[in-house]
């Protein structure tokens, strides 16, 4: 990423991924408690980001941050351990959403969809997108060393030096790629990736975050993982997300619609796209805020004008009534003697 900072502190249009994630979660209205798991050496900076968000929210009359608890804790060696540590500070919440701060541009609607699905009865929910690329399984194999090269043809040209161009050869699972080489022995040969058959992409989905769970289910999945890990070889139970852990319990993971803008900021190109989206959103936010302020000022001015008009009308009516009373007294004067009688 070209930065010494962790991804969560990388900035898009001047604001960190962590700050953008927190703002979206707050605006979604789904959270009462937010726990940020950060590397211990960056814990102070994470807390500074939280303080800044809290300060901004306190000044914003439309912010949902009032009454919300946001804290930062030292994370673990990997994603799974960090979630386990954060769960200890989640309180007695019935629903837990696990979000990757690298997906800082996830719209608030996605958070609401996930939370609503869990509230409706699902034990595990993930936002997904359809797969658009062709996907194949891969197997790494050493290149084939051959001293005798078959005749070439238009489809499989050879090269004069180094590994030969791929030559298709069927195997049991589909088509494998064999690299022919003139190297002296197999130890010097490169490793090639062998592709096997197309996967049906209509049945594949790209998984995003936040992932939502009933709190009891997520805790049970992590407890099961710890038990299995203690009884197995190191690295044999690697898991990439919490939904995978829950699935090992035999619990169905339900899908809801994700969003293309919920991309994971991983590579420099992601930063370029993320910067564009963030800049566009910030401009829209500024424009909307300006519009709201203008409307608020206009409404206040109109109310003041109406109040002044009503007060003027009331004062005028009072004066008219007094003038009428005075005129009546002039038309019906009473002599001093009559008044005495």
pLDDT surpasses 60 at 312: yes
320 and 284 share a domain?
Answer: yes
- Kindly report the pTM of this predicted structure: 0.72
**Structure confidence at residue 314 (pLDDT):** 82
215 and 176 share a domain?
Answer: no
Task: Establish if 248 belongs to a structural domain.
Answer: yes
60 and 115 share a domain?
Answer: yes
Task: Establish if 1 belongs to a structural domain.
Answer: no
234 and 321 share a domain?
Answer: no
Domain end position, chosen among 198, 215, 238? 198
11 and 78 share a domain?
Answer: yes
113 and 145 share a domain?
Answer: no
Q: Out of 86-95, 165-174, 187-196, which region has the weakest mean confidence (pLDDT)?
A: 165-174
209 and 189 share a domain?
Answer: no
For all residues of the chain together, what is the average pLDDT? 82
Task: Establish if 2 belongs to a structural domain.
Answer: no
More confident of the two residues 135 and 120 = 120
Cβ proximity of 256 and 129 under 8 Å: no
116 and 230 share a domain?
Answer: yes
Strands 69-74 and 33-38: parallel
**Structure confidence at residue 37 (pLDDT):** 96
Domain end position, chosen among 182, 198, 214? 198
- How many C-beta neighbours within 10 Å does residue 185 have? 7
The beta strands (E) that lie in 131-249 are given as 136-142, 144-145, 166-171, 174-181, 191-198, 205-207, 211-214
Cβ proximity of 65 and 26 under 8 Å: yes
170 and 157 share a domain?
Answer: yes
Residue 130's beta-bridge partner residues? 205
Per-residue model confidence as pLDDT tens digits over 7-62: 999 999 999 999 999 999 999 999 999 999 999 999 999 999 999 998 887 666 66
Mean pLDDT of 298-313: 80
Task: Establish if 97 belongs to a structural domain.
Answer: yes
Task: Please report, rounded to a whole number, the percentage of residues in the chain having pLDDT higher than 70.
Answer: 75
Number of domains in the chain: 3
Tell me the three state secondary structure of residue 240.
coil
Phi, psi of 144 (to 5 degrees): -85, 130
Mean pLDDT of 186-214: 87
Residue 40 structural domain: 7-131+204-266
189 and 327 share a domain?
Answer: no
């Amino acid at each position: 990423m070209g930065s010494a900072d962790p991804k969560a502190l990388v900035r898009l249009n001047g604001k960190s991924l962590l700050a953008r994630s927190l703002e979206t979660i707050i605006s979604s209205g789904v959270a009462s408690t937010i726990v940020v798991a950060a590397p211990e050496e960056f814990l102070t900076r994470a807390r500074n980001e939280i303080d800044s968000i809290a300060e901004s929210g306190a000044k914003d009359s439309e912010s949902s941050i009032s009454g919300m608890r946001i804290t930062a804790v030292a994370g673990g060696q990997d994603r799974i351990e960090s979630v386990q540590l954060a769960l200890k500070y989640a309180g007695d919440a019935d629903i837990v959403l696990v979000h990757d701060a690298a997906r800082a541009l996830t719209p608030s609607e996605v958070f609401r969809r996930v939370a609503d699905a869990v509230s409706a009865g699902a034990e595990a929910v993930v936002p997904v997108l359809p797969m658009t690329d062709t996907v194949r399984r891969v197997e790494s194999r050493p290149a084939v060393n051959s001293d005798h090269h078959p005749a070439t043809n238009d489809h499989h040209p050879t090269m004069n030096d180094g590994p030969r161009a791929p030559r298709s050869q069927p195997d049991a699972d589909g088509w494998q790629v064999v690299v022919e080489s003139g190297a002296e022995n197999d130890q010097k040969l490169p490793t090639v990736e062998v592709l096997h058959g197309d996967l049906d992409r209509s049945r594949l989905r790209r998984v995003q975050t936040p992932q939502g769970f009933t709190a009891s289910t997520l805790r049970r999945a992590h407890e099961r993982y710890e038990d299995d890990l203690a009884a197995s070889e190191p690295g044999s139970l690697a898991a990439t997300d919490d939904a995978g852990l829950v699935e090992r319990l035999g619990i169905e993971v339900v899908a809801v619609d994700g969003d293309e803008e919920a991309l994971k900021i991983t590579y420099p190109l992601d930063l370029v796209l993320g910067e564009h989206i963030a800049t566009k959103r910030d401009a829209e936010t500024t424009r909307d805020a300006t519009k709201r302020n203008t409307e608020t000022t206009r409404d206040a001015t109109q109310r003041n004008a109406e109040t002044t008009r009503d007060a003027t009308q009331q004062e005028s009516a009072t004066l008219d009534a007094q003038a009428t009373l005075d005129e009546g007294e002039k038309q019906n004067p009473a002599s001093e003697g009559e008044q005495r009688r």
